[in-house]
Amino acid sequence: MTLSSDGTGASFGRQADRYTFSVKIDPALVSKVSALASLDLTDTERRAMAEQLSRVVEFFEALKDIPEELLEDSESSRVLSLRTDEAGGCLDPAVVESNAPEFAHGHFVVPRVVTRDGPS
């Protein structure tokens, strides 16, 4: 069975059997993406994520079967309308401080980021 020309064929439910990976989600790619997301993963986590995300992304490949001419460009397909972006009120600094892990002299405290030799 194949999907119909408008991507609505009844075989969609079996697509996971039909598609081959166009992107290989391997532990190396998971490492690269996890670095972008500031997440450390153990080797076990990395392998499990690679296996699970491969299945998920393979399933998503079906979107490629929808003909290009049916799709508008993303600018004209915007779903949301937004009000004017205007500055509003701010939280009381004392409330902000009460939730901060570390706070001093009106600032959030973080590990040193600049040293005599430049950025740490």
Partner 1 sequence: MRGESPADLLDGSFLEVARAVAAGRTTARALAELALSRVAKAQSAFGAFISTDPAATLREADAVDRRARAGEPLPLAGVPLAVKDNINVAGRPSTAGSAILAGFVSPDNATCVARLVAAGAVVVGKTNCDAFGMGSSNENSAFGPVKNPWNPGRVPGGSSGGSAAAVAARAVPLSIGTDTGGSVRQPAAFCGLVGWKPTYGRVSRYGLIAFASSFDQAGALTRSVDEAARAFSVMAGVDPKDATSLSTPVPEVESDPPPDLRGRKVGLLAEAESPAGAEGGGLHPDVKASFEEAGETLRSAGAVVTAVSVPRVRFAVPVYYLTATAEASSNLARFDGVRYGARKGDSSLAALYRETRSAGFGPEVKRRILLGTFALSAGYHDAYYGRAQRVRALLARDFAEAFREVDVILCPTSPEPAFALGAKTDDPLAMYLADVFTVPASLAGLPAVSVPSGFSRDGLPIGMQFIGPGDTEPLLFAFARVLEGASGALARRAPGAVS
d(CA 103, CA 95): 12
Question: Are the C-beta atoms of 120 and 113 separated by less than 8 Å?
Answer: yes
Closest distance of CB 105 from partner 1, Å: 15
Is 118 one of the binding residues for partner 1 (CB under 8 A)? no
Is 24 one of the binding residues for partner 1 (CB under 8 A)? no
Here's the x/- map for partner 1, 55-84, by CB under 8 A: it reads as: xxx-xx-xxx-x---xxxxx-xx-xxxxx-
User: Which residue(s) pair with 118 in the sheet?
Assistant: 115
Is 28 one of the binding residues for partner 1 (CB under 8 A)? no
d(CA 8, CA 46): 35
Count residues binding partner 1 (CB under 8 A): 63
